[in-house]
Amino acid sequence: MRRWFILSAIGRDRPGLAAGLARLVLDSDANLDDSRMTILGSDFAMILLCSSSSEDAADRLAVGAKQLERDHGLTILMRHLEDGPRPSLPAPDHQLYRLEVAGSDKAGIVAGVCGVLADQGVNIAELSTRSRPGPGGAPHYEMNLLVEVPETLDIARLRAALDAEADRLVIDLLLAPA
C-alpha cells in the first residue's frame, strides 16, 4: 500500500541542503513527488511530498531526518498523509484564478487580501510574497496567488470585495483566470 509523507525543513542556508533532503528520500526507498524550496532572509526552507510502498519508509525517513538535523542544523518536521494527496487542482466545482497584488510595502496586505478570500470561500493553492526596493528606494510589495474559486461564487462579488480591500490598503490587484 502506498503511503504519503510531507517533510518540511528549515535552517541556515548553505550548499547541499536540497541534495541532502533528496538523498534522504531516495535512501528511504521513497519517491519525491512534489516539492517547493526557497530562501527566506538567510534561511533555507523546503517542503517535500514523498511516497513509498515500503513498510519501513516512515521509520527510515524519521531516522534520516534526525541525522540531517544533527549534521546540517536543520529543523525537520514529518507528517503522514492519511488520505494521500489531493488528486489535482482545482478542486471539483472550482476554477483556478491568478491574483497579483502590488503596492507600497506596509503591514496588513497579506492579512487583508487573504481575509477577503477566506470570507468569500476561496481556497489559496499557492502564495508568494516579496518586498524589494521600488522607485526612490521605498519598499515595494508584491504578492502572487493561485486561488480556487467555487463555481457557485459570483466572480463580480469577489472582485468587488477585493477592490474594496485594495482601496482600503492603497494597493493594485489583478484577478484573472489561470
What mean pLDDT comes out for the span 107-128?
98
CA angle 36, 41, 45 (to 5 degrees): 25
- Three-state DSSP class for residue 126: strand
Looking at residue 92, its pLDDT comes to: 86
* pLDDT band with cut points at 50, 70 and 90 for residue 39: very high
Q: 55-102 pLDDT, tens per residue?
A: 999 999 999 999 999 999 999 999 999 888 877 778 889 999 999 999
Cell numbers 508584491: residue: 142
46, amino acid identity: M
pLDDT of residue 25: 98
Residues 65 and 7: beta-carbon distance below 8 Å: yes
Please give the CATH architecture assigned to the domain spanning 3-81: 2-Layer Sandwich (3.30)
Q: Where are the beta strands (DSSP E) in the chain?
A: 3-12, 31-40, 43-52, 75-81, 94-104, 123-133, 139-150, 172-177
Predicted structure pTM score: 0.86
> pLDDT at residue 162 above 80?
yes
Query: CATH 3.30.70.260 occupies which residues in the chain?
Result: 3-81, 94-177
Fold of 94-177: Alpha-Beta Plaits (3.30.70)
